[in-house]
Amino acid sequence: QVHSLQELRRSASLATKVFVQRDYSDGTTCQFQTKFPPELESRIERQLFEETVKTLNSFYAEAEKIGGSSYLEGCLACATAYFIFLCMETHYEKVLKKISKYIQEQNEKIYAPRGLLLTDPLERGMRVIEISIYEDRCSSGSSSSGSSSSSSGGGAG
Amino acid sequence: MTPGGGSGPMKDCEYSQISTHSSSSPMESPHKKKKSAPRRKWEVFPGRNKFFCDGRIMMARQTGVFYLTLVLILVTSGLFFAFDCPYLSEKITPAIPAIGGILFFFVMGTLLRTSFSDPGVLPRATPDEAADLERQIDIANGSSSGGYRPPPRTKEVIINGQTVKLKYCFTCKIFRPPRASHCSLCDNCVERFDHHCPWVGNCVGKRNYRFFYMFILSLSFLTVFIFAFVITHVILRSQQTGFLNALKDSPARYPFTETNCRSQAVVCFFSVWSIVGLSGFHTYLISSNQTTNEDIKGSWSNKRGKENYNPYSYGNIFTNCCAALCGPLSPSLIDRRGFIQPDTPQLAGPSNGITMYGATQSQSNMCDQDQCIQSTKFVLQAAATPLLQSEPSITSEELPLPGKTISGPCATLTLGQPTPPSSMPNLTSDTGLTDMIPLKEEHEGHQFLTPEEAPSPPGMLPSGSPITHSHTMHVLSLASQDSLHEDSVRGLVKLSSV
């Protein structure tokens, strides 16, 4: 029952989506909640999921880090009246590329084989990590119907 | 067109239409549709913004005052360089036009950056997200809310020991992150919203605050510079030849000197006070890490209570300044120049608080016959699944949501069809469908047909026109829903037989 990413989209039907919301307890920096959504209980090991979210959080922390190199970049940009942004890629953008690679790799190795798909938060305005839960077409009726009516959901109430 | 209060059997006739024109009907749409060029996301952006240069430049809708700003700066600086600089560079030092030039360049650069860039607009929630949030809110609230507009929703979060309330934005269907605010002029939620500045023709938010600050700072220097040297020019000239004589001599060699000097001096005089004042104010804001919005509301002032402090401040002025001006620049979240993917749902125009999912299929013109047939078979299979399990939970999910049409399975069947199946006589066809399509997403547990898999009816994009009608008011009862399910499956069976 191993799916590759492309196969997943074609052969499986989307059952539901789970949203991992932002964790604002540290301010406005981009962090996601590591709380394990109940819908994924049967689909993936808790530890793997938490590992993914923690790694993503660390990537975002790195991107938004205020330190020597970011100051240098900021001052240089200011000195050139910000024209330098026309030709240079910012540190944040570089990290975002790393993140997107990481997500793709996670999808291929871990999530797709379990019938799940992570969406890059950048595509969702950095609001949520969207996890699509797919049901295998062949196995009709064996749908777990991931989100139950009384699910408290992944996000904080 | 079905009359109001459409019921199951009526729908069958309409469904059969899909089967015969599965590929052609989506093509025939009331909307103009580009067959060849894929569209970029800025063309369907739901906010009230203007875009130029194929999405590279983004501004607010009203830009008249921005042009005034440009004219004032250009004319005053132009006069300065043309008439004062030659004299001053001779008399005092050529460094004056040089410095003036650098300042001018800086001012223009930062002004254009501020005006043309994305202030930090938060994209609106996708239908899935919005539905998920609604679900959670309803669970949290416990019961269905009465009235058309549910009570304001808030979430509390503790940031650095301070309790911050996050508000739910009805237009964007998201809980606003801390410090974000919805700009009513641009109809967007903007991160770290400072204010909407008509002088730059854009909102000032997280992504362009530093440009804005550098703009007003450099403009203060420029106005003071020009003012000082215009006065110097007049004084020097008057010392040289006597003031009145200077003006008398002028017409031949220095045309309109009097007017020049006067106009420059006047503009600069008024600008100096206002702009220098504004720079000072923003310097204060930056050093205390507050936004104009927060300062005006007094969110973190001591007057609210002794325990009230700013949780975002880093503690010292230097770090606050560095963070605001030299911190990392986050990228634009709205991806203006990206192409609309066929499987990405787009959001409709401003919904102004009406609970409506204006999402639609991407208007991609690629609706293959294969794709349509495959999808309809898919729909059949998926729709068959709900009947195998009892779904009492549907009502608890969907009925409490006011103003939403509850016809999940039926919605899927109307894809590609211009007229909505259920009773919505007031609707224009396109908006009806745009409403219908995403509703199936709410059908909890069974998102059997998502925009990713469905054929995209390209004509369903409302192209930014405000959608303000009441088509979402129909709420079906449980009993009729069951019959709807059965009817819809019957209809699907017909489809698949094609």
Q: Looking at CA atoms only, how far is residue A51 from chain B in angstroms?
A: 23
Please tell me the predicted confidence (pLDDT) of residue B150.
Answer: 55
- Residue B168 inside a domain? The answer is no
Q: Do A141 and B210 touch (CB under 8 A)?
A: no
Looking at residue A91, its amino acid is H
Chain length of chain B: 498
User: What confidence score (pLDDT) does residue B323 get?
Assistant: 86
Q: Containing H/E element for A18?
A: strand A12-21
CA distances from A133 to A111, A114, B442, B445 (A): 10, 9, 15, 10
Residue B201 within any structural domain of the chain = yes
- What φ, ψ does residue B51 adopt, rounded to 5°? -120, 145
Which pLDDT belongs to residue B474? 44
Q: Scanning every residue of chain A, which has its alpha carbon at the shortest distance from the alpha carbon of B395?
A: A149
Helix (H) or strand (E) holding B279: helix B277-287
Residue B146 DSSP label: P
Return d(Cα B35, Cα B458) in angstroms, integer. 10
Residue at B313 is within a domain: yes
Buried b (16+ CB within 10 A) or exposed e, B30-52: eeebeeeeebbbbbbbbbbbbbe
Residue B101 lies in a domain: yes
Query: So what's the pLDDT on residue B148?
Result: 56
Mean pLDDT by 10 residues, chain B (498 residues): 45 46 43 61 87 89 92 91 85 88 93 92 89 81 55 80 87 90 92 92 92 93 90 83 56 58 80 91 91 86 76 86 86 84 52 40 45 52 49 40 40 40 40 40 40 41 40 44 54 52
Comparing CB atoms, the residue among B129, B330, B389 nearest residue A19 is: B129
Chain B residues lying within 8 Å of A65, measured CB to CB: 328
pLDDT given at position B336: 83
For chain B, say whether A22 makes contact (Cβ under 8 Å).
yes
For residue A82, the model assigns a pLDDT of 81
Cβ distance of A73 and B326 shorter than 8 Å: yes
* B447 within a domain of the structure (yes/no): no
Does residue B172 fall inside a structural domain? no
Min CA distance, B238 vs chain A (Å)? 37
The answer to whether residue B64 is domain-embedded is yes
Inspect the interface and report whether the beta carbons of B444 and A92 lie closer than 8 Å: no
Range of the domain at B97: 50-119+196-326
pLDDT of residue B496: 52
Contact B159 A149 (CB under 8 A): no
Distance CA B91, CA B377 (A): 86
The DSSP letter of residue B370 is H
A74/B389 touch (CB, cutoff 8 Å), yes or no: no
pLDDT value at residue B239: 81
Chain B, nearest residue to A146 by Cα: B445
**Regions of chain A where pLDDT drops below 70:** 1-12, 136-157
Minimal CA separation from A103 to chain B, in Å: 18
Q: Which residues of B are catalytic?
A: 197
CB-CB under 8 Å, A124 with B129? yes
Question: Could you say which of B123, B323, B385 has the minimum Cβ distance to residue A125?
Answer: B123
Say how many domains are in chain B. Answer: 1
Q: Above 0.85 for ipTM, yes or no?
A: no
Question: A30, A60 in Cβ contact below 8 A?
Answer: yes
Residue B318 lies in a domain: yes
Residue numbers in B near A143 (CB within 8 A): 385
Inspect the interface and report whether the beta carbons of B160 and A27 lie closer than 8 Å: yes
Any B CB within 8 A of A139 CB = no
Q: Which of A14, A24, A81 sits opposite B447 (nearest CB)?
A: A14
Please give the pLDDT value at position B298. 84
Residues of chain A with C-beta less than 8 angstroms from the C-beta of B192: 28
- Minimal Cα–Cα distance from B311 to chain A, Å? 8
